[in-house]
Amino acid sequence: MKKTAIVTGANTGLGFAAAKGLVDRDYHVVLACRNREKGRAAQKELGPNALFRKLDITSFSSIEFFLHEIKNNYDGIDLLYNNAGIMYVPYKTTEEGFESTIATNYLGAFYSTLELLELMKYREDSRIVQVSSIAMYLARDVRLEGLHEEKDYNPWTWYNYSNLYRTMFAFELDDKLKNHHTKVVVAHPGITKSRLRKRRKRNLTTMGFDLIATNIKTGVAPVLEASTNLNIKGKEVFGPGVIHQYGKPRIYRGNKIAYDKEERKKLWNYSVDLTGKDYK
């Protein structure tokens, strides 16, 4: 039977490349994109095994609409790739009042993933692949106070936090699903050429990143490995095999904070408070 995958932010970059890789492996892929035109263009390019559904991951009402569509049209989901994300953006808040990097990269995935579990946890070999970044290793603590206020906002630091939180979420959810089929793993692409990198301000550091950035094929390989390798145990972090940046994928350890159960519990409870969603 054909497997069904959902890829968020699937109209470009790593999300599009992952969707293509999955279509090529005979998955039916739901392209969860915020922009109708871009989503439909991606659907057209990927052919009959891809289907656009509208999702703005920063908006709880958009997530609810998306979930309604998915629950009405699918009996089960085999793979969820939480990919939608932004990087190094000026301070902005979402309609729910959350800082946009944290809302896009982390809170929206927390909300939508928990709601999709009923369609996933009874499916054999089902899995959730959570994108993260080497930026997760730069986060030094779990900061929750004032996270959505402009006062201390720093686009770099907040991007680091969002990627640490993505990884902590994946690890905690994998533990919570231990009596079910679904495994939760993390994939990071290294530093990859995409529109994400073109969008942010240029300075010496970002120009340095641009020099070492690899092509999408290298960046998406860990995502596809995490999505299709049948021998995963859960909580692995897949990344490009040589110094997190080049070559074939391999498994790494995440930021050590992500293995701290107390810190994970703190983040989980905070996220439950903000989203109203929980999974015990």
Ligand X SMILES: NC(=O)c1ccc[n+]([C@@H]2O[C@H](COP(=O)([O-])OP(=O)(O)OC[C@H]3O[C@@H](n4cnc5c(N)ncnc54)[C@H](OP(=O)(O)O)[C@@H]3O)[C@@H](O)[C@H]2O)c1
Interaction between residue 249 and ligand X (CB under 6 A): no
Closer residue to ligand X (CB): 14 or 123:
14
> Is residue 159 among the annotated active site residues?
yes
φ and ψ of 31, to 5 deg: -95, 100
**Bridge partners for 80 per DSSP:** 6, 128
Interaction between residue 15 and ligand X (CB under 6 A): yes
User: What is the distance between the terminal CA atoms of the chain, rounded to a whole angstrom?
Assistant: 31
Interaction between residue 84 and ligand X (CB under 6 A): yes
Part in contact with ligand X (CB under 6 A); list of ranges 20-28, 114-122, 137-145, 195-203: 195-203
Near ligand X by CB under 6 A: residue from 11, 101, 218, 245 = 11
Residues in binding contact with ligand X, number by CB under 6 A: 32
Other CB atoms within 10 Å distance of the CB of residue 171: 23
Is residue 5 within 8 A of residue 28, CB to CB? The reply is yes
Position with the least CB separation from ligand X: 85
Interaction between residue 13 and ligand X (CB under 6 A): yes
Per-residue x/- track, 38-77, ligand X (CB under 6 A): x----------------xxxx-------------------
Q: Where do we find the tokens 């094929």?
A: 217
Near ligand X by CB under 6 A: residue from 22, 23, 114, 191 = 191
User: Which of positions 87-116 make contact with ligand X (CB under 6 A)?
Assistant: 87, 104-105
Q: How far apart are CA 85 and CA 21, in angstroms?
A: 19
Min CB(13)–ligand X separation in Å: 2
Min CB(243)–ligand X separation in Å: 14
Is residue 98 within 8 A of residue 107, CB to CB? The reply is yes
**Bridge partners for 183 per DSSP:** 127
Closest C-alpha to 258, from 161, 189, 179: 161
Q: How far apart are CA 103 and CA 96, in angstroms?
A: 9
Other CB atoms within 10 Å distance of the CB of residue 145: 8
Q: Which of 137, 159, 161, 165 is catalytic?
A: 159
Interacting residue ranges for ligand X, rule: CB under 6 A? 8-9, 11-15, 33-35, 38, 55-58, 83-87, 104-105, 131, 133, 188-189, 191-192, 194-197
Active site residues: 159
